[in-house]
Amino acid sequence: MADSFKSGFIAIIGRPNVGKSTFMNRVIGQKIAIMSDKPQTTRNKIQGVYTDAESQIVFIDTPGIHKPKHKLGDFMVKMAEHSLNEVDAIMFMINAEEGYGRGDQFIIDRLSNVDKPVYLIINKIDRVHPDDLLPLIDQYKEKLDFQEIIPISALEGNNVNHLLKVLKEELPEGPQYYPEDQVTDHPERFIISEMIREKALHLTREEVPHSIAVVIEGIKRREDKDMVDIQAVIIVERSSQKGIIIGKRGSMLKEIGQRAREDIEALLGSKVFLELWVKVQKDWRNKQLQLSEFGYRD
């Protein structure tokens, strides 16, 4: 490994059908393509991990940043802005064939609250005459101060290597977060854990400290039906806190689970079976460093 290995997180955002999945497929390759064929992947927030000899780029799709079909609430929008502030750079992808639209305005409004470099990626340039790009560029330039504007064709590959090179330059020096052969993960884990944590704090009227943690131990979509199984553990530091969260004959934990499940179902767009339990673990914050997952970096 080179001694100045670079790594980081890049959010890909953009309206549906602009070519985000196509770009991921091209960059990450075959394995992710199989997943992206499923219609729910766009709601699934898959992330792709690109690794080469000197860098690792973790691409994430940010829930709540796209104009929602139904109202997901302020919480989601806040979470989306929060997670955009956690990444190293943002790729805002548009379709060269289309003009500026309301969906873009929604995204640009979110982006204007975010203090990270934003790259405007104009995709599908194979479909337009080069002369048509300039007015489009001018139109978007007015809306936001982009770090750079890069036209590509995700389908045919034009300029994709250049884009990767530019993105790599944006990344800080850092570790390899994921093994080379791991190309996807569930970035929605963090949001799901925050949803559960929020319910726990709210329903116990904050009788437990904010430092409680929720760790998602498993997320799996059932093959045969539209159902996602999730196992999560609420970690507290004292057994008295465990008692509060479990409640009388488990009533509190049941309520937390029920409310969290409703939010998670809205997030994932499918039914959820949520298993929730509570564990006492002293000093868990010190152990936090061992959790390399995105979202646990304070």
Segment 58 to 77, residues that bind ligand GDP, using CB under 6 A: none
- Of 18 and 77, nearer to ligand GDP (C-beta) is 18
Residues 122/136, Cβ–Cβ less than 8 Å: yes
Q: Which does 16 bind (CB under 5 to 8 A by kind): Mg ion, K ion, ligand GDP, none?
A: ligand GDP
Kindly tell me the burial class for residue 64, based on how many C-beta atoms sit within 10 Å of its own C-beta (0-12, 13-18, 19 or more).
buried
Q: Which of 5, 33, 40, 42 binds ligand GDP (CB under 6 A)?
A: 42
SS3 state at 122: strand
**x/- map, 6-35, Mg ion, by CB under 5 A:** ---------------x--------------
- Extract the tokens encoding 222: 């059932």
157 binds ligand GDP (CB under 6 A): no
- Of 21 and 83, nearer to Mg ion (C-beta) is 21
Interatomic CA distance for residues 238 and 215, integer angstroms: 17
Judged by CB under 6 A, the stretch of 16-24, 77-85, 189-197, 264-272 that binds ligand GDP is 16-24
- Extract the tokens encoding 225: 């039906």
SS3 state at 151: strand
Residues 65/110, Cβ–Cβ less than 8 Å: yes
144 binds ligand GDP (CB under 6 A): no
Minimum CB separation of residue 95 from ligand GDP in Å reads: 8
Q: Do the annotations mark residue 16 as ligand-binding?
A: yes
Segment 37 to 66, residues that bind Mg ion, using CB under 5 A: 42
Residues 13/93, Cβ–Cβ less than 8 Å: yes
Name the one residue in this structure whose structure tokens are 């904010």: 210
